[in-house]
Amino acid sequence: MAAAYLHHLSAGAVEVRSAGSAPGESVNPVAAEAMREEGIDISAERPKLLTTDAVRASDVVVTMGCGDTCPIFPGKRYEDWELDDPAGQGLEMVRGVRDEIRARVLGLLDELGVEPVTR
């Protein structure tokens, strides 16, 4: 959800890589439904494993609880967003996580000096 919001709200001005330290086999269907409500389709996305090369190539690395399993490189900006895990949760709960992610993405875009595209 964070990567989709970042790509959407930056209108492509920010290059986004999305990966996880323990990716699932598919996108959470409830998360996909919650994002569809926002006009963003993530249903075709596929979870990917976070690689050292992806972290090395990034300026900002946003993690969501990967702890010691995430590669750390000096000089990179790291943010750990502690969020409730939407896995196995209902739409109401996932909407709350979605909305919190959106707010954090907007804050990150502001810090990066990128004007968000809002509808």
The per-residue pLDDT of the chain, averaged, comes to 90
**Distant-in-sequence contacts of 103-112, Cβ < 8 A, 24+ apart:** 104/2, 105/2, 105/5, 105/6, 105/9, 106/9, 108/6, 108/60, 108/62, 108/79, 109/6, 109/9, 109/10, 109/14, 112/14, 112/60
In CATH, 2-112 is 3.50.50.60 = no
pLDDT in tens, 11-44: 989 999 888 777 788 899 999 999 999 999 999 9
pLDDT in tens, 43-68: 999 888 888 888 888 889 898 877 77
- Which pLDDT does position 96 carry in this prediction? 97
What percent of the chain is modeled with pLDDT above 70? 99
CB 35 within 8 A of CB 4: yes
Q: In whole angstroms, what is the distance from residue 4 CA to residue 14 CA? A: 11
Residue 119 pLDDT level (bands cut at 50, 70, 90): low
- Which pLDDT does position 76 carry in this prediction? 87
- Which pLDDT does position 21 carry in this prediction? 76
Q: Map out the domains of the chain as residue ranges.
A: 2-112
- Which pLDDT does position 19 carry in this prediction? 84
